[in-house]
């Protein structure tokens, strides 16, 4: 702190009583504090949105830009685009999808999939992404996270952690005290790296957010992996996005209570099983802060 206290002033009211205490937003506006973000994820392959069960058996879900516009209108708080082909052609397609979406949709956009270096991050940010998710390349070379954070700021660095429980047959190979292991190749390949320790290290290196994918829960619709969320929440101070396993409206508040700051789902939204507004209503009913918009609100 600098300067004599008499020259400084806090917000209206006493410093002890924050502004919300005086006449906070109407009760209908939801609880105070930063809203739980509801994030539809668009897995993009060859210019189409696809989504499979356990990352396999891809199924067509539509045009990414159209879906993005629809989710924005429904009240999505952020959109995630994942290039599941991760080929050079896939990257070019992703840049085009991002640019066309960013021209029409004025909410934060996160892009990921096959991001190998600072150049890829730069291209995605220039195309209109606000944040870039790094996964395999960061596992191979963790310093990449620091390089990207130094150049573009930690606020745009998301580390995507594909975690699964250590399988009994791998227990000897994988020294994972948390019981969760980082995987690559869509959950098919274990790395022997402890997923919770990796999340903490990634945050220390400069990741501003953890996108936590449970490969065990993904596609099951049995709910988010709450023990995984709790373990990572306890290990990092950066925001955590819960991903994988959402099946019904009640699953989202459970993930938040376990420590998630944001909730992500894909096929549930793409195939119309649940609307963004349903998720927000469930969160609001659970007493959690949400952003209500015209179509999704009231």
Instruction: List residues with catalytic annotation.
Output: 43, 162
Q: DSSP string spanning 234-254?
A: HH-SS-EEEES---STHHHHH
Tell me whether residue 27 is exposed, middle or buried, using C-beta atoms within 10 angstroms of its C-beta: 0 to 12, 13 to 18, 19 or more.
exposed
Verify binding: residue 88, another protein, rule CB under 8 A: no
Query: Which of 153, 173, 250, 257 forms a contact with another protein (CB under 8 A)?
Result: 153
Judge contact between 238 and 209, C-beta under 8 A: yes
Q: Which of these segments, 50-58, 97-105, 210-218, 275-283, binds another protein (CB under 8 A)?
A: 97-105
Tell me whether residue 204 is exposed, middle or buried, using C-beta atoms within 10 angstroms of its C-beta: 0 to 12, 13 to 18, 19 or more.
middle
Q: Which of residues 27-66 bind another protein (CB under 8 A)?
A: 28-30, 32-37
Verify binding: residue 120, another protein, rule CB under 8 A: no
Query: Which of 49, 102, 139, 283 forms a contact with another protein (CB under 8 A)?
Result: 102
Q: Which residue has the tokens 């949709």?
A: 105
Q: Minimal distance in Å, beta carbon 280 to another protein?
A: 11
Output 15 or 250, the one with its CB closest to another protein.
15
What span, in angstroms and rounded, lies between the C-alpha atoms of 176 and 9? Answer: 49
- The pair phi, psi for residue 12, each rounded to 5°, is -50, 140
Judge contact between 145 and 159, C-beta under 8 A: yes
Verify binding: residue 128, another protein, rule CB under 8 A: yes
Query: Which of 59, 126, 173, 189 forms a contact with another protein (CB under 8 A)?
Result: 126
Q: Which of these segments, 47-55, 63-71, 136-144, 150-158, binds another protein (CB under 8 A)?
A: 150-158
Nearest to 113 by CA among 66, 162, 152, 63: 162
From residue 255 to residue 294, the character string flagging contacts with another protein as x (rule: CB under 8 A) and all else as - is: ------xx----------------------------xxxx
From residue 172 to residue 211, the character string flagging contacts with another protein as x (rule: CB under 8 A) and all else as - is: ------------------------------------xx--
- And the tokens for 232? 């990572």
Query: Which of 62, 239, 248, 249 forms a contact with another protein (CB under 8 A)?
Result: 239
Q: Minimal distance in Å, beta carbon 193 to another protein?
A: 24
Q: Minimal distance in Å, beta carbon 151 to another protein?
A: 8
Verify binding: residue 7, another protein, rule CB under 8 A: yes
Q: Minimal distance in Å, beta carbon 153 to another protein?
A: 3
What span, in angstroms and rounded, lies between the C-alpha atoms of 138 and 145? Answer: 6
Output 166 or 210, the one with its CB closest to another protein.
210
> Could you give the residue ranges of the DSSP H alpha helices within 103-194?
118-127, 136-140, 143-152
For residue 44, give the 3-state DSSP assignment: strand
Nearest to 54 by CA among 198, 209, 266, 197: 266
Verify binding: residue 119, another protein, rule CB under 8 A: no
Verify binding: residue 155, another protein, rule CB under 8 A: yes
DSSP β-bridge partners for residue 143: none
Nearest to 96 by CA among 61, 64, 67: 64
* Chain contacts with another protein (rule: CB under 8 A): 2-3, 7-12, 15, 18-20, 25-26, 28-30, 32-37, 72, 77, 99, 102-103, 106-108, 125-128, 130, 152-156, 208-209, 237-239, 261-262, 291-294
């Amino acid at each position: 702190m600098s300067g004599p206290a008499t020259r400084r002033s806090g917000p209206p009211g006493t410093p002890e009583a924050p502004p919300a205490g005086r006449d906070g937003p109407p009760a209908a506006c939801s609880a105070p504090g930063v809203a739980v973000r509801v994030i539809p994820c668009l897995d993009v392959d060859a210019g189409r949105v696809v989504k499979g069960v356990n990352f396999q058996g891809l199924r067509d879900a539509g045009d990414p830009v159209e879906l993005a516009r629809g989710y924005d209108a429904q009240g999505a708080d952020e959109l995630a685009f994942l290039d599941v082909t991760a080929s050079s052609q896939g990257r070019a397609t992703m840049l085009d999808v991002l640019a066309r979406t960013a021209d029409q949709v004025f909410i934060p956009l996160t892009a990921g999939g096959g991001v190998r270096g600072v150049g890829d991050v730069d291209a995605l940010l220039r195309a209109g992404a606000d944040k870039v998710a790094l996964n395999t390349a960061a596992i191979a070379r963790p310093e990449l996270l620091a390089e990207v954070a130094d150049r573009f700021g930690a606020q745009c660095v998301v580390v995507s952690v594909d975690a699964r429980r250590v399988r009994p047959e791998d227990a000897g190979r994988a020294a994972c005290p948390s019981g969760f292991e980082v995987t690559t190749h869509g959950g098919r390949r274990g790395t022997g790296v402890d997923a919770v320790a990796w999340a903490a290290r990634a945050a220390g290196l400069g990741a501003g957010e953890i996108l936590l994918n449970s490969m065990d829960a993904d596609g099951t619709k049995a709910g988010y992996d709450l023990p995984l969320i709790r373990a990572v929440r306890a290990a990092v101070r950066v925001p955590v996005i819960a991903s994988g396993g959402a099946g019904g409206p009640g699953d989202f508040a459970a993930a938040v209570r376990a420590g998630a700051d944001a909730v992500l789902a894909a096929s549930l939204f793409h195939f119309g099983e649940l609307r963004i507004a349903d998720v927000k209503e469930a969160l609001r009913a659970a007493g959690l802060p949400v952003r209500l918009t015209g179509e999704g609100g009231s």
